[in-house]
Chain A
Amino acid sequence: MMDDIQPTTDPARPKSPLRAWFDLRGRSLSTLAFALNRLTAIGLTVYLFLHLAVLSLLLRGPDGWDSFVRLARSPLFLTLDVVLLFGVVYHMFNGIRVALVGMGVANRQQKGLFYGLVGLAMVLFVVGAILIYTK
């Protein structure tokens, strides 16, 4: 079967996915939303598998786990937790926007949805970050 769209090559400008996705110069707010969504997606995917790997420590009894928990309470780890929390809440709330808009629901309000949902995400992030350091 013939491909209906042929790939093109441009010797003047080699393709650069990283630049296409993450170079935000001259871009709109929604591209910032997309770029952050993609970055947090990659981070969260790596974290998901690390998290599952770390949980296997539980099978080896209390010693391994409890020493890991001591490490996890260090300031460095708590800071990583804050970074993780940002990724989770941003991806979660922007994701709600992408899911709705991507199905054609409220797509004309996509900017308003961004401000509303990501604004809420940032409030939760600040509250969560304070709890991480104080609780």
Chain B
Amino acid sequence: MAEQLIDFKVFRYKQGQAAPTYETFQTLCDENTTVLVALQDIRHDQDGSLILRHSCHHASCGTCGMRINGKEELGCVVKVLELGTSTVTVEPMRNMPVISDLVVDMGPFYDRFNTVGMPFIRQSEFMDEAEIAEGLETYTRCENCIECNLCVSACPIMGSDETYIGPAALAATWRVVEEPRGLRTQPLLDWVDSENGCWRCHVAYECNAACPSEVYPGDKIMALRRDLTKRKFRGLFGRGRKD
């Protein structure tokens, strides 16, 4: 495939600016050019003030989350020409404050994760022959979360109320509840059994669609709700446990 000149309509915003603007840059892309590389080219050749965030270039660090043509994606794995549009619109993730251009403040995102206690063990840490812990189907679960924030950006409820705990932290909570390894899970379950917790989800499943790492946060939220529903019914019929 020959190189093509592609328009990049890029969201621009600097602190103190009244409102964001969009600036269009043109750059040559071939079949291997990813959106992240194209943006780096623009920054290198055309405008050094264009701010973006990235690290690994292969979808394992989760730092280059952005919205490409209105969809939450990791810029490093989306090939420009495969998008099939002559103009590619690039915007920062939603539901976290913009610091500059394509970079959002991830502080509120990590705050929620800290609450859950970062209980993550990645799938790659397990050898194929490792025994799967009792009660688990496979290890392909929240261990896979790369903390990219795409699910939070895509969630329509976060869009109207950013004090919702949100899909990523709820998925992480389920991970602890599912395999507590001796930890007391009741305080975590109480934390998500609240106005800002798992009951705020309205089953739009944008988090599942946005997740680049097969965490399926929507399913984890529903697993939490199934667990809490069972506990509530047990409580209703006098068989609730006191923690």
Contact status of A5 and B111, CB under 8 A, knowing A104-B225, A104-B229: yes
Q: Inter-chain contact count A-B, CB under 8 Å? A: 106
Tell me the nearest residue of chain B to A5, going by C-beta: B163
From known contacts A7-B163, A10-B97, A12-B20, infer whether A28 and B206 are also in contact, taking CB-CB under 8 Å.
yes
Q: Return the chain A residue nearest B222 by Cβ.
A: A107
Contact A13 B225, CB 8 Å, known A25-B70, A31-B206: no
For chain B, residues 64 to 113, give those with C-beta under 8 angstroms from any C-beta of chain A: 67, 69-71, 94, 96-98, 105, 108, 111-112
Q: Does A60 contact B (CB under 8 A)?
A: no
Q: Which chain B residue lies CB-closest to A9?
A: B97
Docked CA distance A6–B196 (Å): 11
New A-B pairs, 10, CB < 8 Å, besides A5-B112, A10-B96, A104-B226: A8-B162, A13-B94, A26-B71, A28-B209, A31-B205, A31-B206, A33-B204, A34-B203, A34-B204, A107-B218
Contact with B along A42-83 (1 / 0, CB 8 A): 000000000000000000000000000000000000000000
Given A31-B206, A34-B203, do A21 and B156 touch, yes or no (CB 8 Å)?
yes
Q: Mark B41-70, 1 if CB is under 8 A from A, else 0.
A: 000000000000000000000000001011
B181 contacts A by Cβ under 8 Å: no
Q: Which residue of A lies closest to B201 (CB)?
A: A102
B residues lining the A interface (CB < 8 Å): 13, 17, 19-20, 67, 69-71, 94, 96-98, 105, 108, 111-112, 115, 156-160, 162-163, 165, 191, 196, 201-206, 209, 218-219, 222-227, 229
**Chain A residues with a Cβ under 8 A of chain B:** 3-13, 15-17, 19-21, 25-28, 30-31, 33-35, 37-38, 97-98, 101-105, 107-108, 110
Q: State A7–B159 Cα separation when bound (angstroms).
A: 12
Q: Which one of A5, A13, A31 contacts B108 once the chains associate, using CB atoms below 8 Å?
A: A5
Taking the closest CB of chain A, its distance from the CB of B99, in whole angstroms, is 9
Show 26 residue pairs from A and B whose CB-CB distance is below 8 angstroms, ordered by the A residue. A5-B112, A5-B165, A5-B196, A6-B108, A8-B96, A8-B162, A10-B96, A12-B19, A12-B97, A15-B160, A19-B159, A20-B157, A21-B159, A25-B70, A26-B69, A26-B70, A30-B205, A31-B205, A31-B206, A37-B202, A38-B202, A103-B226, A104-B222, A104-B225, A107-B219, A110-B205
